Structure 1
Amino acid sequence: MSYYSIKDVENLSGIKAHTLRVWEQRYDILKPKRTDTNIRYYDDLDLKLILNISVLNKHGHKISHIAQMSAEELRTELIRLTEKSTDAQDKIQAFTLCMMDLDEERFEYLLAQSIKQIGFENTMLRIIFPFLQKIGILWLAGTINPAQEHFISHLIRQKIIVAIDSLKPNYTEGKKYMLFLPEGEWHELSLLFTNYLLRSRKQRTIYLGQTVPLNDLQEAYKIYKPEFLFSVITSSPSFQQIQQYIYEISRHFPESKIILTGSQVIGQGLDTPENVLILAKIEDLLDFIQENA
């Protein structure tokens, strides 16, 4: 069982803390627990109820009516709404519930529905990555069970790999990109999706994957000779080591453009040599691919 502060619940549901307190007092719909020091907190059941309420309320259900609904009625109505909705926030709420319940069947169904409605790329950009950003913040804070995060990340990883495999490989045209994560870096989803974006735009890629030592990267570089190197850095190298790492890869690969993104490099005020580019958002990457195709 995980426990959430009122701020956690606010971030996950989009419902302001003040509104949550009003619902508790006026409709007796929520019954948060309190610590020994009288600090309000919520458990998994509370969070699931709040996520259900937020979607139903957004679609016109009055709180007074929701307060009278059974748990099964809430679930049935939520399924009905999220199946036909194209709203990204509705989908994110539904995926959050799938993660909490470890409900693979429901997640697969909702994801397939979204891909059918808006396509794989838009589903990833508009729904999956905003969803991962939300749960990632809470996972780092220790308010989400790591098993839940691993469960959902694994399912998403499988979907990206299937999408990449469905693309016809391009061996002769397009620019050459080498994709890797630095040694000690394991967060692979953004790198995998970048591989998909590049290949779907007829660029050539070599995917080296997670935790690649610099020496191994150099050896692969000698063989493939890419125009671009791309990496996502979210945890390793550490903040204390990242500037030196940037200098090192710039020096070792002077003839290639090195593209970096991730929380360890975005907005950190790092010095970037001439052949290093830091991209802050996915739209910047899409523009870069188009400009350099």
Structure 2
Amino acid sequence: MKKMIQPNENGLFAIHQVADITGLSKQVIRKWEERYGIIQPKRMDNGYRIYSQQDVKTILKMKLLSEQGHSPKHAALLVKEFTEEPEVSIQKEKSPYYEQWNEYVFQLLEKGRHCDEIELNFILKQAYHHVGLEQFLTNIVAPFLKEIGKKWENQEWNEYQESVSSLVVRDFLVQIRRNYQYRENAPFVLGACLPYEQHEVPLHLVLLRFMMKGWKTQLIGTSPALGAIESLVTKLKPDVVLLSATTTLPFETDSQLLRRLDQFAEKQIDIAFYLGGQGAVTNLLDYKPKAIIVTNSLEGILK
């Protein structure tokens, strides 16, 4: 694991440290400073540049916007606009780049790049307590996971970087749910990935939104056996069962899976079954269930 980059006693970084943090060359960093004026680093007595943590965040914002297809000139204008009038930019214009500009997202991306689990946990905890659960999920966790996916697909991050960052987020979300206090008569929702489905973080996010509405939640682990899902539903008698398939792998592996689940759901007359995820929507062409509602919208379920 790569050693964590630390600032000096004044909280400042040398240019080679900034280059390591951002993945940019020293030449590009100097060019952005001189040509676009996005930062004004201080100078030491020997003339060497030293950068504040805010300077580093600004450079990371510029880099991300450039990666999204903006020219350096336009990216610099967007960064300056947000830095100078963040509240006006967000509230009046509803900038599509707001979620990407969240400071916590940039900090998480930096620590995730170095696979620093301790710092990732610290930032998640700090963000959660600072903005509250709803904003934490919407403006920090979701954008961070989205960027992890992009970096993995673009081969900017390797499997270890992607795995560490995703697992830290998952474990943190589990901790939030486990520590939540429920009312005695709270409605109960049981969540489960389908067999052969490994992507459980999207389901954690959905269950947390139920939790914020006063529901008791429980999640079956990744890729459970079909019999395990049926057994727990029969035993726990939840009000709602949420099934998730982010990929089409469950249906490709077992072509009769959805049909059997649907037949089981038909027998549970007091339990509502929902199935979500892109994999489930794609699979509707092969079989349309009778008792399971396929949806990617929470609004109807939570009413």
TM score, norm. by length of structure 2:
0.63
Deviation at 1:80, TM superposition (A): 8.5
State whether structure 2 residue 291 is matched by structure 1 residue 278.
Answer: no
- Pick from 255, 261, 272: which aligns with 1:257? 272
Cα distance change, pair 248–239 in 1 and its aligned pair in 2 (3 A): closer
C-alpha distance in 1 between matches for 2:221 and 2:50 = 43
Partner SS, residue 249 of structure 2: coil
C-alpha distance in 2 between matches for 1:64 and 1:204 = 51
C-alpha distance in 2 between matches for 1:268 and 1:94 = 37
C-alpha distance in 2 between matches for 1:216 and 1:151 = 28
Deviation at 1:251, TM superposition (A): 0.8
Contact 1:184 1:211 in 2 (8 A): yes
Matches within 5 A, 1:118-157: 118-140=131-153, 142-157=155-170
The answer for the alignment partner of 1:194 in structure 2 is: 206
Cα distance change, pair 71–156 in 1 and its aligned pair in 2 (3 A): farther
The answer for the alignment partner of 2:24 in structure 1 is: 49
C-alpha distance in 2 between matches for 1:188 and 1:218 = 18
C-alpha distance in 2 between matches for 1:191 and 1:168 = 20
Contact 1:179 1:209 in 2 (8 A): no
State whether structure 2 residue 93 is matched by structure 1 residue 90.
Answer: no
- Backbone CA RMSD of aligned residues: 3.7
C-alpha distance in 1 between matches for 2:228 and 2:203 = 18
CA deviations 1:20-57 (Å, max 9, x no partner) are xxxxxxxxxxxxxxxxxxxxxxxx9596339xx99xx8
Contact 1:191 1:232 in 2 (8 A): yes
Contact 2:247 2:280 in 1 (8 A): no
List gaps (5 residues or longer) in structure 1.
2-43
Deviation at 1:145, TM superposition (A): 1.1
Deviation at 1:235, TM superposition (A): 3.5
**Percent of aligned pairs with the same amino acid:** 17
The answer for the alignment partner of 1:27 in structure 2 is: none
The answer for the alignment partner of 2:66 in structure 1 is: none
List gaps (5 residues or longer) in structure 2.
2-18, 42-47, 62-82, 88-97
Q: Matched residue pairs, number?
A: 236
CA deviations 1:231-269 (Å, max 9, x no partner) are 221236345357632222111111333212223123555
- Pick from 90, 102, 110: which aligns with 2:115? 102
Cα distance change, pair 116–72 in 1 and its aligned pair in 2 (3 A): farther
Partner SS, residue 123 of structure 1: helix
Moved more, 88-97 or 66-75: 66-75
Deviation at 1:217, TM superposition (A): 1.6
Deviation at 1:65, TM superposition (A): 3.7
C-alpha distance in 2 between matches for 1:179 and 1:210 = 10
CA deviations 1:124-150 (Å, max 9, x no partner) are 122212221232244256442111112
State whether structure 2 residue 224 is matched by structure 1 residue 212.
Answer: yes
